[in-house]
Amino acid sequence: MPIAYFDGHCDTVSRCLRTGEGLDRAGGHIDLRRGGAFSAYAQFFALFYDSAGTAEAGLAIAARQREFLMRELAANGERAIFCRTAEDVRRAVRRGRIAALLGIEGAELLDCDPARIDVAADWGARYVTLTWNHANALSGSNCDGADRGLTDRGRAFVRELYGRGILPDVSHLSDAGFWDVIGLGLGPVAATHSDSRALCGHPRNLTDAMFRAIGETGGVVGLNFYRAFVGPDGGDFSQLLRHIDHFLELGGEDVLCFGGDLDGCDALCGGMRGLESVPRLYDACARHGYDRALLEKLFFQNWLRLLARIDAAGAAKKTPPHEGRQRGQ
Ligand SMILES: [Zn+2]
């Protein structure tokens, strides 16, 4: 039986630009043809580049990558539709299309400039990962300036993101930066592609306290399929299931989702080959004893619910106070 799948993070755009392939049929982990096998499929496509490798302004690179994504989606309109909101996702799914969403991995792509967030909002981006692996003008990262938290500019940047209905993504961030974002207390926080540090001691992963803190904001944590963050598993999903069990024990039923890092890493857990292996993961979860209601949350609904919540918060902000009162809200 086909399943529904909502994934919060892939690097397919930058991979395709590197290889010259299109989104429809590509030799990496993801393409639209394989995505068509799900009963419903929503995918965040992240813009990404390594800022150490070029002197070109990040925003110019982001614009080029985003243009590629929009061009590919337009050329494959019978398979996929670009979506900005939860309602867009629902509509795409009803029409039998893949729902493609936009994320930005690394604030360098916005030149680390709060004034550029307007551009990201116009593009329909719904999250910005504050750092990639390099420290930047906003914060230290998990592996570069790991003791450095948010700068003043970093705080201004996060404030502006919330103001435009864009989630701050704390995957890749330093621990100090993470707690600074939580400390601002401005709204839901996402870790789009990170696993449990208690089970695999990599600084890219989240401690139990971090996971709980994200849950308290109403945010989400997307499990990453990269073997270096999951841990050795002998080719089955036993180790990834331990991460799921662990986060569920921390109260993660409404927090946990997936952000597979497909096309962003070389070695996947559980012998996965790409998107086509997700149904096998679903089966492993079902055999492990998770019921269908829980699996629907993890595999689709938790991301959708968070999007709907920030959409509603944005709409409420735009509604003049007297109209809200007339409707008795
Ligand atoms: Zn990443």
Q: Which domains does the chain have, with CATH numbers?
A: 4-326 (3.20.20.140)
CA dist list (Å): 106 to 92, 136, 173, 190, 209 = 28, 9, 10, 14, 24
pLDDT of residue 235: 87
Separation of CA 326 and ligand 1 centre (Å) = 45
pLDDT of residue 325: 45
Q: In the predicted model, is pLDDT for residue 323 greater than 60?
A: no
**What is the band of 328 on the pLDDT scale with cuts at 50, 70, 90?**
very low
What mean pLDDT comes out for the span 163-168? 97
Q: In the predicted model, is pLDDT for residue 326 greater than 60?
A: no
**What is the band of 327 on the pLDDT scale with cuts at 50, 70, 90?**
very low
Query: Model confidence over 20-38: pLDDT tens digits?
Result: 999 999 999 999 999 999 9
Separation of CA 139 and ligand 1 centre (Å) = 16
CA 224 to centroid of chain Cα atoms: 10
Separation of CA 193 and ligand 1 centre (Å) = 7
pTM of the full structure: 0.95
Separation of CA 92 and ligand 1 centre (Å) = 26
Mean pLDDT of the chain: 95
Separation of CA 313 and ligand 1 centre (Å) = 27
**What is the band of 91 on the pLDDT scale with cuts at 50, 70, 90?**
very high
Separation of CA 154 and ligand 1 centre (Å) = 19
Query: Model confidence over 252-292: pLDDT tens digits?
Result: 999 999 999 999 999 999 999 999 999 999 999 999 999 99
Separation of CA 295 and ligand 1 centre (Å) = 24
Separation of CA 324 and ligand 1 centre (Å) = 40
Percentage above 70 pLDDT, the chain: 97
Separation of CA 261 and ligand 1 centre (Å) = 7
pLDDT of residue 1: 74
